[in-house]
Structure 1
Amino acid sequence: MGAESVPRREVVTGRPRTPAGRTAPVPTPHPAARDESALHVLMRRQLRAGLAVTALLTAALGLLPVLLRILPLSGASPRVPLAVWLLLGVAPYPALLAIGAWYVRRAEHNESAPAAHAPAEHS
């Protein structure tokens, strides 16, 4: 068995020097990797938007049974009044579309400019 080459150990105490004797420039990290607080701000804003949509949907759809309860229904008639069909079949959809459109706009706004809303970086 022959002698195996062992890599030479170096002690690093500062920036590497170039052949001209100057210190090599330190590469700057990517802005997204440099500022993790912007990512946390984005995540908090998206969570807040998601919770707001969940609350709006819960309130809007949770009120449907209440509205059905207070509608004057004819107890003896097997026919379902037109108001019930309108309330269940038509009324929720514009609200769902409006809430969905708001959420998409909010999410795109949060993702397009996270650094504009991030706290100032202290150097």
Structure 2
Amino acid sequence: MAEEQQAPPQREIVTGVPRSARRRPPAHTPARSEISEQTTLGATYVRALMRSQLRAGAWALAALALLVGTLPLVSVLPRTASGPPLWVALGLVVYPVMWLIARWYVTRAERNEADFTGLVTDPAEAPPGPRRTR
């Protein structure tokens, strides 16, 4: 009998689980399904968003009330040669500060919504681009 020469077996290198067999993340995160199904946890997520928006609104309102509440004190000051201090306070101080308060509120509200959206959206669905940080 002739001995058959067998080629040595080829070596196979396995470096990890094949890509097709890897577990993929769910199509949506559990937070989104909790909200859409209106469960207790979903209501808690929405309530937390509403609470943070209310907190930002309350701070803006308090700052505005403090600003406008001090205007009667300006009317008590004596008139100067350059004009009544009340009009100067209204034109040069109040409106720019009101604009800053409004700008802060809008920025804070957008940040709250972005944080909430980041919580409930799938990372694969996130729009490309830099994420804003605090």
Question: In the TM superposition, what is the alpha-carbon distance from 1:53 to its structure 2 partner?
Answer: 1.1
- Secondary structure of the 1:91 match is helix
* Residue 81 in structure 1 maps to residue 83 in structure 2: yes
Question: In the TM superposition, what is the alpha-carbon distance from 1:73 to its structure 2 partner?
Answer: 2.6
Question: In the TM superposition, what is the alpha-carbon distance from 1:91 to its structure 2 partner?
Answer: 1.4
* 2:35 alignment partner in structure 1: 32
Query: Which runs of 5 or more residues in structure 1 are unaligned?
Result: 1-27, 118-123
> Identical aligned pairs, as a percentage?
34
The Cα offsets for residues 4-27 of structure 1, whole Å up to 9 and x where unpaired, read as xxxxxxxxxxxxxxxxxxxxxxxx
Residues 49 and 106 of structure 1 are in contact (CA less than 8 Å); yes or no, is this contact kept in structure 2?
yes
The separation in 2 between residues aligned to 1:68 and 1:80, in whole angstroms, is 15
* 1:106 alignment partner in structure 2: 108
* 1:91 alignment partner in structure 2: 93
The Cα offsets for residues 41-78 of structure 1, whole Å up to 9 and x where unpaired, read as 00111111111111111110110111221x2237xxxx
Q: Please list, as runs of the form range in 1=range in 2, the aligned pairs for 1:1-123 lying within 5 A after superposition.
A: 30-33=33-36, 35-69=42-76, 71-73=77-79, 81-114=83-116
The separation in 1 between residues aligned to 2:108 and 2:64, in whole angstroms, is 16
- Secondary structure of the 1:81 match is coil
Residues 57 and 96 of structure 1 are in contact (CA less than 8 Å); yes or no, is this contact kept in structure 2?
yes
Residues 53 and 103 of structure 1 are in contact (CA less than 8 Å); yes or no, is this contact kept in structure 2?
yes
Q: Would you say how many aligned residue pairs link Structure 1 and Structure 2?
A: 85
Higher relative contact order (Cα pairs below 8 Å, separated by 6+ residues): 1
- Secondary structure of the 1:30 match is helix
Amino acid at match of 1:64: L
- TM-score normalized with structure 2 length: 0.53
- TM-score normalized with structure 1 length: 0.58
Residues 46 and 110 of structure 1 are in contact (CA less than 8 Å); yes or no, is this contact kept in structure 2?
yes
Amino acid at match of 1:72: P
